[in-house]
Chains A and B, each alone.
Chain A
Amino acid sequence: MSEFEPGRGKRLGMVVGGSLLDGMAVRLDSGDSVEDMAVGRYVVVEGRKKKFFGMITDVTLGTIDKQIEITPPDMADPFVAEIIAGASTFGTVHVAPMLTLGLDAVSILDGPQPVKTVPSHFSEVREASEEDVALVFGREDASHFYVGTPLDMETKVCLDLKRFGERSSGIFGKSGTGKTFLTRILLIGLVQKGAAANLIFDMHNEYGWEGSSEGEQTRTVKGLKQLFPAKVAVFTLDEESSRARKVLTDFTVQIGYDQVEPEDIEMLSELLRLSPRAMDAIGFLLKKFGSSRWLEAFLSIESTEERDELAESLGVYSSTLRALNMSLSRLRRLKFLVPRTVEDSVQMILGYLDRGQNVVLEFGRYSDLLAYVLVANILTRRIHSRYVDATERAMGDKNQQPRQLVITIEEAHKFLNPGVAKQTIFGTIAREMRKYNVTLLVVDQRPSEIDEEVMSQIGTRITCLLDNEKDIDAVLTGISGKNELRTVLAKLETKQQALVVGHAVPMPVVIRTRDYGSPESYRDLGFASAAELRRRADKDNDDLFGDRS
């Protein structure tokens, strides 16, 4: 029974009790201090017939005799202290079993299965080794993307991006816990593996050309376009800002008044402080001017007299229209909103997406919610209807199916809160668009404000530190072993750590996110610097034409 064996992790202790529901109690070997344990760490239990994969969810202190708690031994003496530790007092860790693997050949081929039993008494518990982790999470390949390492380990945890894109996913965490960082890494993965086409509503200009990474010191890191110039197109709403940031953009998005529908305004009712009566007035305007002209017609009214006349003809209070005008004139401030557009932005975006390009839409200086919610909603609604058409057309022919699309939205609770989720396009996508090959990647800091029904549809949840009880509850809705994971979640570090649960991983796992921003990390992701490209070209030249020097 040696401590280290090749291919197996370090022995930690043995199972002394527990149940499937509550997890297993594992007594640590005397050499192991509880202080070396960490909640969220990944362990392997070697039962007699099966191997179990589990996660440490709690750490407790035990004593062999209650007397020792009343009259503690002289711990100032290092000799006594060393003997007492592990013999009279010991550490116990609580392990939640997650997956199991039979040790016979057939079961090994089947791969890990959900647990239906617990290991027998005194089964050996070890730290998970690299092989164990690879067995569960798969190795990096065409669809598996390395996102980070388990706690205290140097092994790669891979996410199945194909599964990740198949259903809506969420990245949650308090502000400043690295949501953006994680999102960027995942988007890089999605682009690199080509698992899905991406449309990213980039509120703070973080993903397109370059973003910032808050560490000990804030540094700029390369965005998607720099890593994958041929696969990513950067669209902008604010050309000036993009130019000022020296970002090469592919297209400047403009939205015509005719594309704004009443439901887009309804989404904004909170932000624009619109009363229900004002919403009714919009209904009347719509009837009068038609859906493509109502906004333009209303906003073109300059004088109060005209507006009052209009109110009279519509049969609404003139004060209502005045208030509506006050609210809607805030839209005038948005320069990308124009009465008529030359090119159809949605068509452009879809064109890029159809060609397998990924589109990042930068908001430039319009980084307020008003612009974000409005644009994301308008564009997504139209993309949604195209996708529905395309999928329905492709009913009989699998090859005609549109490419899987992942739409990334930030501040998702603004789109998906219970008040609006039933009506907005994002609610619809989250609920049923899996069938139409469109899924969401929601990034949010208040998961509790997201509609429960939507939340339950989110397949993969990647969660950085959350400390609000309601948020933790929301994120763990419908996940087995919720109580154990709750401890894990609340104890995450504030930076670079995340709990991954759901569809894209076979079992919940806490990861330390991979490094991003250093030259090595770029190289790992396939980025070639100019010098490297030249060297490759030279080598190709030499290979083709021989060394001419």
Chain B
Amino acid sequence: MALRVGEVIESNTTGFIAQCYELHAAPAFGSLVRVSDGALSTYGLVYDVTTSSIDPGRRPIARGKDEEDEAAVFRNNPQLAKLFRTDFTCLVAGYGEAGRIYHFLPPAPPRVHAFVHICTLEEVADFSGSLDFLANLVAPGFPGPGDELAGAFLRLASRARADDGFLVRAGKELAVLLSGDLRRLNAILRRMKP
């Protein structure tokens, strides 16, 4: 059963931002999340996780001087968990409708307050059946660390698929996409190496 981690708080056609229910409980960088919104489920790749004060005007102050460890800071200041928030930004990588997965943008972005789930390994395996989304990650206009994201997701997908050939196939796809930029290709390849 996919784990529910938060809700969409801002969205547009190509991406969305979700807030975690628990502080510091964001999905791992490069993991696949699913936003279920009626008949449509939107898939997103987590690429930016931010933890900040709920009030942008208030900066946190250091509190752990007399504490034994970091956990004690939160234990002795229970209000802290409510004064901070963890958000994560996702790239829309595709959507699912009526049991099929499409690796292009959904007709509508996820709505605000839609629930965000971390995909199970089976879902990751299903989703990574096609590698079309890689083109978006390495495209020049991508706002986040696309190369890192590609590497992280491919590592995850390879684990989910338990398929030795997968990384090589993905690598070849990247090699074609980055045919003119060998240094970048090498950097990604080093990151996705099993």
Q: Quick check: is B27 within 8 A (CB to CB) of the other chain?
A: no
Stretch at the interface among B8-16, B31-39, B108-116, B180-188: B180-188
Known contacts A65-B180, A80-B189, A80-B193; 8 additional CB pairs below 8 A are A30-B172, A65-B179, A67-B180, A71-B182, A73-B186, A79-B194, A83-B175, A88-B185
Interface size class on chain A is 10 to 19
The reply to whether B176 and A79 contact each other, CB–CB distance below 8 Å, is no
Report 15 cross-chain contacts, Cβ distance below 8 Å, ordered by A residue. A64-B179, A65-B179, A65-B180, A71-B182, A73-B182, A73-B185, A77-B193, A79-B167, A79-B168, A80-B186, A82-B171, A83-B171, A83-B174, A87-B172, A88-B175
Whether A87 and B182, one on each chain, are in contact in the complex, defined by CB atoms closer than 8 angstroms, is no
Q: In whole angstroms, what is the CA distance A68 to B181 when docked? A: 9
Cβ of A469 within 8 Å of any chain B Cβ, yes or no, is no
Closest 6 CB pairs of A and B: A83-B171, A87-B175, A87-B172, A64-B179, A88-B175, A82-B168
Interface residues on B, range: 10 to 19
| A interface residue numbers (CB < 8 A to B) | 30, 64-65, 67-68, 71, 73-74, 77, 79-80, 82-84, 86-88
The tally of CB-CB contacts under 8 A between chains A and B is: 47
Residues A86 and B172 in contact, CB atoms below 8 Å apart: yes
Q: Smallest Cβ distance from A402 to chain B, in angstroms?
A: 67
From B167, B174, B176, B182, A67 is in contact (CB under 8 Å) with B182
Q: How far apart sit A87 and B189, CA to CA, in the bound complex (Å)? A: 13
Q: Of the candidates A77, A82, A88, which one forms a contact with B182 in the assembled complex, judged by CB atoms under 8 Å apart?
A: A88
Interfacial chain A residues near B194, Cβ < 8 Å: 79
Hey, which chain A residues are within 8 Å of B168, CB to CB? Answer: 79, 82-83
Residues of the A chain whose Cβ atoms lie less than 8 Å from the Cβ of B171: 79-80, 82-83, 87
Q: Kindly report which residue of chain A lies nearest to residue B180, judged by CB atoms.
A: A65
Q: Which residues of A contact B174 (CB under 8 A)?
A: 83
Q: Which of A73, A77, A82, A87 contacts B176 (CB 8 A)?
A: A87
Q: Hey, which chain B residues are within 8 Å of A86, CB to CB?
A: 172
Nearest residue in A to B170 (C-beta to C-beta)? A83
Closest Cβ of chain B to A429, distance in Å, is 61
Contacts of A88 in B (CB 8 A): 175, 179, 182, 185
Closest chain B residue to A73, Cβ basis: B186
- Chain A residues within an 8 Å CB radius of B189: 73, 79-80, 83
Roughly how many angstroms separate A483 CA and B78 CA in the complex, as a whole number? 85
Q: How far, in whole Å, are A461 and B8 apart by their CA atoms in the complex?
A: 78
Collect the chain A residues with CB atoms within 8 Å of residue B173's CB: 87
**Nearest A residue to B179, CB-CB:** A64
Interchain nearest-CB distance for A493 vs B (Å): 34
Nearest-CB distance from B166 to chain A (Å)? Answer: 12
Distance, CA A73 to CA B193, complexed state (A): 14
Q: How far is the CA of A430 from the CA of B162 in the complex (A)?
A: 69
The chain A residue sitting closest to B172, CB to CB, is A87
Of B168, B171, B175, the most chain A CB neighbours within 10 A belong to B175
Q: Which residue of A lies closest to B175 (CB)?
A: A87
